[in-house]
Structure formats: C-alpha cells, structure tokens
Structure 1
C-alpha cells in the first residue's frame, strides 16, 4: 500500500477513535477497548454499546532499513509483522511464540519469549507510542516526552489510554536458527544449564522444557544463514511435521545433545501447533487417539488462533491451570518442587528473563533493595494443564499457586485468570504510583488493571444461556449443560468463525 495513503487512513482512524473516546468521556460513560481477538484466557464479553473499536488498526505502515525500525498499528499480529519486516531483511528482536498475538497486546500486556534473556520483554523493544488519552487527546509518549506514561503503558492493559501506533526496534534477520538440545535429568540441572546458556554471547534464543522431575531439555538457538546439509533442516509448521515439544522430548530421551537447522519462521512459531502441548488435552477430552495420523487429520484445529476461539466459546478455562509465572532464579528449584507436589503437571515451560523483568509487569511494588533483587535473573515457568475438581477446589488451587508465587518474590502474567481479592492485588502492585499516573493523564474513567483482570465467572455463564430469556436461552442452557457438549459447541463456533467476544446486539 502507498505509504501516504496508509498514513491518511491511520490519521482518519485515530480521529474517529479520539472522537468516540471524547464522547464517552463527556457523557461520563465507562467503555472498554475492543481489539477483535484475544490471547487471554480470562472470561470476556464486550458490550457493543460501550466499546471503542480499534480492530481496524492492523497495518504495518513503515519499515526503515537505515534506522532498523518499523512503525506499526497495534492490531498487527506477529506473523504479519515478521512477514513484512522480513522483506527488508529485518526482524523484531522479540517475537511472541503464537502468530496471532498482536503488537498492542505484547506492549500493554506482558510478553516475553526465548530471546527475552537478551532483549527483555517485548515492550523494551518499543521506541515510542501514540496514545489516545481517556479524554480524547492524542499524545506521543517516549523516553524523551511523557516518559512516565511511556514506561507506565507496559502491563497497563489499556487502562491508561488507547494505543494506536508504535515504533519498534528491529535486528538483521537470517534464514535459519541453529538449535542445540541439551538433555537434563533433574530440576537443579535444568536451572544450571538454562543460566549457563544465557551467558553465551553467541546465543540468540534460550528456553527449556521439563517433561518430568528427571527429564527435560534446555534449547539454545543461534541465528545463521548457513545450512551444512539439507538433512539437518527440521520444520514444525506443516501438518505432517512433528509438534515441537514432542520432537524435543524424543531428543531428550536419547540423553545426548543434538543440533539441527530450523527455518526462522518455523522456529519463531514452533509452539503454534498444539499451543505448546495443551492441544493434546483436547484429544483426551474427546476420546480421540493421540498419534501422528490424528494430529495430521486434525491439524486445522490445533493452531492457536482456532484453539483460542474454541476455548472462549466453550468456557474450558474453568478446569485447567493456565498460568505463566515469573520468579527469581534463586527460588526456581523450590517453586518447581512445589508445582510437582501440588499439581504434578508436566511438561513445564522454562524461559529465562533479565533482572529488569518486574518493570514490564503491571506496575508491581519494588522488592527490597538487596543485591539479589537488583541483579538476579528471573525465570518464566509455564504451568498449563487440567485440574479436575469442584469449582471451589479449582479456585482454592489457583489461589494457593498465587500465594506461593508471591511468597517467592514472583509475579504472574495477567492474561490468565486471576483470583486475588482487591486488597491482595494491591499488596503486590503499586496502587499509589499507578493511580497517580491515571490522575495525571486523566484516565480515571477507564477501568483499573484490577477491574480488567479480576475473575468474572458470570461472563462464562452468559455464553451458556444463563440469564437469556425465552426458548433460545432455555435451549442453550439444556444443550450446554455438560462439559462435553460445551466442547462440541466450542468446535462449532471455531469452524463457523466470526466474532467470539462481542455480546449480541441489544434489541
């Protein structure tokens, strides 16, 4: 698209957003920002009459080869961003592992990946941001101007204003990633090897998977244009390719390190098929064999965009532990032992993060100023798996997990369901500093971070006909009265497509 036309289209879109925001502000009507999709697992249901729609802000406007930057609207997903920057021989330094995660979600949410030990979270790669404040004023925030707003946007979840444009740093791309898998046989060995690999200057990517207490793999990657021989190339994106975690598990079982060459986009989105390993639970749920043939036949449903659609339609986050948790490396072993004892869930994802991790995670309170808290590396642990129990048992288990994390100086990703009380939440996050920022930038009419993330079981019930009058509501309640039927309903909605977050138009 012609750059001038794209700029004009963007300006018109921002003018419309600004006018809508100003109207809500003048009428003192609360509103929410609607993006059209989500990678959150919290229950969500938007009211069409109380939203500011930014779903059309989905264009890459400019790529500058000299400055190695890209100017991009917030609804651009990772796969499109990589596709466009790749044309210029460039790549975002932090690319989230699911192709549908958007630039805006990565910036105002919390987004790290296997390159984050080197570059920090995604928000650390942003140079400036264009924001529509809650009264309709449009500002550009950076380290040079409105620095407090710019830094406060990370982890703010749209509660300081409406993000409309960002400039992102880029690095030179290469065709492949040379991956080396290092098998480990204990929790202690996994953290030791993980930290060792992050200290190697030649590594561009580092993450790990624990398959059990006594089995795992630490995986490091280096960008390269060299491919010694075609037989070394391994792909993960095609229907007949292996799921990445299964491939890593097979290598780990051999108890010897192994190296292979992976095309860059296959590496970046290696966890898309199967959503790490959570897709395997769908096979068990529907009594379907889990093997190469069934994974091939059901490949369409195993990509994260489809899985998130089905997940929200079915409400199946209600019996699964789905949490990403960051804690100081010094407390890693204790935490993994706790997860093993309490939940017994494997695999677990391990992703090393830099010491400045907390600043990207929703305005947390500062830790005690000890040498350890200032310099210690953090580790992201992904805990994802079924937890069959009563509703009370499920909530209690998640609250226990949250409490253990806090006791060990950790923080959780707030895309997931949160069970804190408001008092508990503000014991972890800096309410005074956060509210002062909202006052300064006139954002008090917007929901707070706690308002955005607090658990809302009533949103799930709305999807299943509770409170919906008439024959249609009764039919939906009957048909969706079992978890199995809700599963089929999620599949139906995913095949049908369309919007899965907006409430139906009021009559």
Structure 2
C-alpha cells in the first residue's frame, strides 16, 4: 500500500499543478480497448499506467482492493489463488478494472450482476483540483453513482474495492440453437429468468440460424459425465466457430469448459474480427492457419495492430443496448440494410442504462407500444464487420445506424467511434444533470464525455512533411496499412504516446 500511496500522491500533485496553471491534460493508462484513435502528448498527461496491482484480497468478506489498470486476466489469476472470482469478467483479457468501472463493460453474467461497475463497492478518486476522496453508497454517494460511465470526466480513479464470488473451476455450457430473430430473443429472455444460470449470451449466424449459450458454474467433484471443451490453446477451435457448428447441428448440446477458458473464450480472434484479417491478407481461413498464426490472433496484439494500421476507419464497430422488446427490430434492420453476420447478443439487467454515459431516460415505444419511462431489461447487439466504402459513405452508414438506434431507444457502448453531432449527443445524454455533477465536484476543467468521444477524424493527426506524407500513403492503402499494423504489433512498445521531440 505504501507504493500505491506514493503513486497516488504523484498523481494528486500533478493534477493540482495542471488545475492551478489552467493547463488541459489527459489521463494516460498505457493501453486502450477503445476503437477511437488515441494520441497523447507526454507533457500534458497524468500518467496512471503504474497503477496496475491487486493490492489485497479479503477471503472472508469476498472483496479485493484493486488499482484501475489491472487487466482482467491478472485480476482473475489473483482472485483464483484466493478461491474467488469477479462476478463480471469482460471477455478480452486486456480490458482493465478502471475501464470497466468508468466505461461501459458488460458480459454474459451482466443479466445477473449488472455491468462491471455494479460489482464495485467503493472508489478512491483524485478530483480535478487534486483532492483525494473516497466514494461509495455511504460516502460521496452522488459522486459514486456519477462515476459510472463517466469516462474519467469527474476525476481520476486510483483504486476500487470490488465484490467477489466463490470460485468454481468449471462452467457447464449448454448450446441452444435458434431459428429466427424472435426465437433467439425470446429464448435468451427465457434463460435469463432461470436462477441456475450464471452466464447467458448468444450469436446470430444468419436470419435462420443462431445459438443461445448458457453457463452454470459447477464444482469439479460434482461434474456430470459430459465432454470437456477448451478454447484457449493454439490448437483449440475458436469459440464462435465451435458454436456455429453446434447451431447447424440443430440440437441442444452440453459441454464442460474450464472457467478461465470460458471467461476469455472470445479472446482468440476477437470474437470473429480475426477472420477478416485472414480475408484481408488473402490467407486461407482454416484450422491449420489459425493454429500457425495464433500469436497474432489474441486481442492485445490485434488492438495494437488495429490502432497502428488505422483499420478502425474501415470497419463498422457498434455495440448497442436496446430495450429487450426492440432488439429484434434492430437486428431485422441490420439484416436488411447491411447483411452483417455474425451478430453478438448479450442480455443486460434493467439498471444497465444508468451505467452508460449519463443518458436521459427512454420514454419511447417498446415492442410497438408507448408505456412511459422504460425500466426493463436490455439486450445488447454487437455489430462488427468491415465496410469497404468511401469515407462519405462510411460516415453515412454509421450515422444511419445511430439514427435507428435512437429511434428504438438504444444506447451505444462508447468504446466505438461516435458519429453524432453535438446537438444529437445531448438529445440522448442528460447535459443538465451531468453539468451539475461536474460543477459540484469541481470537474469543469476536465473534458466532458462528449469531448472525449466525439469523432475527430484522422487526417489532421498524421503530421506534415515527408513523414506525414508517407503515413498518409500507408493509411490510404489497405494492404500497406495492414502490414504496418502487424509490424508495429510485433515490434511492441507504446502506440499511444507521442515520441519526444528534441
């Protein structure tokens, strides 16, 4: 804890300096799972990248004190040593505790436990003026609630206390094939009502074929006689490909999966986004090539390559949570307008909306009927696919999707690019209440959520002169930019901080 206190004091004094000198700054975490372009100036950052430790675990209380830059795989590894497990574990190992709390982070257990932020019991925060405070349901409660989905715009997170649950080593996974959009949504909602289920999500492979996947934590001494299926080794099949084979089989299938394999089942291939890399480089997409290229197909490497290559500007990447009865209408729209598959489905608890960037309540139609302010469950739809087009058409398509989202009462996960105008943004989000909160906790010198997520494009950030010209040539050529991204990922190092100039 002494090292933690020393680092926090450095953060606190640096923020106080920026506040007193009226200098704009950004918080640097050392990595990102956002698809927005990231570029930091070393002289105008508060560096919290070293806050990456699990400080303590209380076995009796089932809690842990954790610094914000602890990634999911490290958190799971340390809690498992104590016989405990986080209730909500994001599917990519590199997503951090801090990102999960102040960002938007849910997974297949979120129908039961809510978004990741709902597992946090208290938070240590440095406010914009350098004041160090603790926030919880019993202390600075308004700040604690406001931190959810605030994206660091109310202060800098330095530690959380989080709830844990007893560890079980295996997940009994059941695959339920579906045969239409309505069938998939109704089957998903049905399984979230079964208290025995710990995990529920789904994948749509086409209009007529999908799978709902349920999971139950089980003890090793009570395992039924069903096969073990793993997803983390290079020779294991990617999870979604395995699930697709079972969807086409057409019958309910049960398997046992080790808990860490289940939690990070989408890491290899980043769901199905890795498939598009094979197609991009004209490499056969088959088991042997997936085995041979496994190193490149994990999300940490893929995010590095994604940012270096500029490929976020070639893909539609949208995660949107809808009132459950409206999700099928959105999927129908995506099918008709874009024909994008696979699509990810994830059920969310009714308090999920308040974890997603300070939105206004939704009082529009649900299931075709007006019924006042909506306070029910949500279903998230993940739409991720390449969209080869001109920049104008690319922006138009994303804006059309966002308009359909607003029509159906959906909310974006804000790791993705935002194509709203500022007026459109504040039609969705509660500016009045958000500004009051920022004023109360002296955070008006920090950027707003809109400032952080608004789309800035990329051209003006590539620099000038010969180096800038070469970057433009690389970024504008799909093959060159892909190769450059791979080169940067292999080389390693920081991909967000600007290099120092002499």
Q: Could you say whether these structures have the same fold, taking a TM-score greater than 0.5 normalized by the shorter chain as the test?
A: yes
TM alignment of 1:278-427, pairs within 5 A: 278-368=273-363, 373-427=373-427
> Which position in structure 2 is the counterpart of 1:468?
464
Q: Secondary structure at the match of 2:202?
A: strand
Using the alignment, how far apart are the partners of 1:86 and 1:372 within structure 2? 44
Give a deviation string over 1:109-161, Cα, whole Å, max 9, x none: 00000000000000011000000000000000011111111001111101110
Change (3 A) 1:343 1:479: closer
2:361–2:374 contact (8 Å) kept in structure 1: no
Give a deviation string over 1:267-319, Cα, whole Å, max 9, x none: 00000000000100000000100000000011000000000000000000112
| Cα deviation, residue 477, structure 1 | 3.9
| Structure 2 unaligned residues grouped into runs of 5+ | 365-369
Structure 1 stretches of 4+ with a deviation exceeding 6 A read none
Using the alignment, how far apart are the partners of 2:389 and 2:245 within structure 1? 32
| Cα deviation, residue 388, structure 1 | 1.2
Matched, 1:13 2:7: yes
> Which position in structure 1 is the counterpart of 2:436?
436
Using the alignment, how far apart are the partners of 1:208 and 1:156 within structure 2? 28
> Which position in structure 2 is the counterpart of 1:451?
451
Aligned residues, how many?
496
Using the alignment, how far apart are the partners of 1:364 and 1:480 within structure 2? 35
1:197–1:206 contact (8 Å) kept in structure 2: yes
2:352–2:378 contact (8 Å) kept in structure 1: yes
Matched, 1:199 2:206: no
Using the alignment, how far apart are the partners of 1:479 and 1:202 within structure 2? 52
Give a deviation string over 1:12-60, Cα, whole Å, max 9, x none: 0000000000010010001010000000001111111111000000000
Using the alignment, how far apart are the partners of 1:14 and 1:332 within structure 2? 43
> Which position in structure 2 is the counterpart of 1:3?
none
Q: Secondary structure at the match of 2:145?
A: helix
| Cα deviation, residue 321, structure 1 | 0.6
Using the alignment, how far apart are the partners of 1:152 and 1:278 within structure 2? 33
Using the alignment, how far apart are the partners of 1:476 and 1:387 within structure 2? 22
Using the alignment, how far apart are the partners of 2:463 and 2:158 within structure 1? 36
| Aligned mate of 1:96, from 90, 95, 104 | 90
Matched, 1:268 2:295: no
Matched, 1:185 2:179: yes
| Cα deviation, residue 472, structure 1 | 3.6
Q: Secondary structure at the match of 1:279?
A: helix
Q: Secondary structure at the match of 2:154?
A: coil
TM value normalised by structure 1: 0.96
1:355–1:374 contact (8 Å) kept in structure 2: no
| Aligned mate of 1:169, from 163, 168, 179 | 163
Give a deviation string over 1:345-388, Cα, whole Å, max 9, x none: 00000000011111000000122397674442100000000111
Using the alignment, how far apart are the partners of 2:475 and 2:208 within structure 1? 41
Matched, 1:487 2:478: no
> Which position in structure 2 is the counterpart of 1:46?
40
| Cα deviation, residue 228, structure 1 | 4.4
TM alignment of 1:171-250, pairs within 5 A: 171-226=165-220, 228=223, 232-250=227-245
Change (3 A) 1:306 1:461: farther
Using the alignment, how far apart are the partners of 2:460 and 2:253 within structure 1? 48
Using the alignment, how far apart are the partners of 1:472 and 1:400 within structure 2? 35
| Cα deviation, residue 413, structure 1 | 0.4
TM value normalised by structure 2: 0.97
Using the alignment, how far apart are the partners of 2:372 and 2:117 within structure 1? 24
> Which position in structure 1 is the counterpart of 2:147?
153
> Which position in structure 1 is the counterpart of 2:367?
none
> Which position in structure 1 is the counterpart of 2:120?
126
> Which position in structure 2 is the counterpart of 1:4?
none
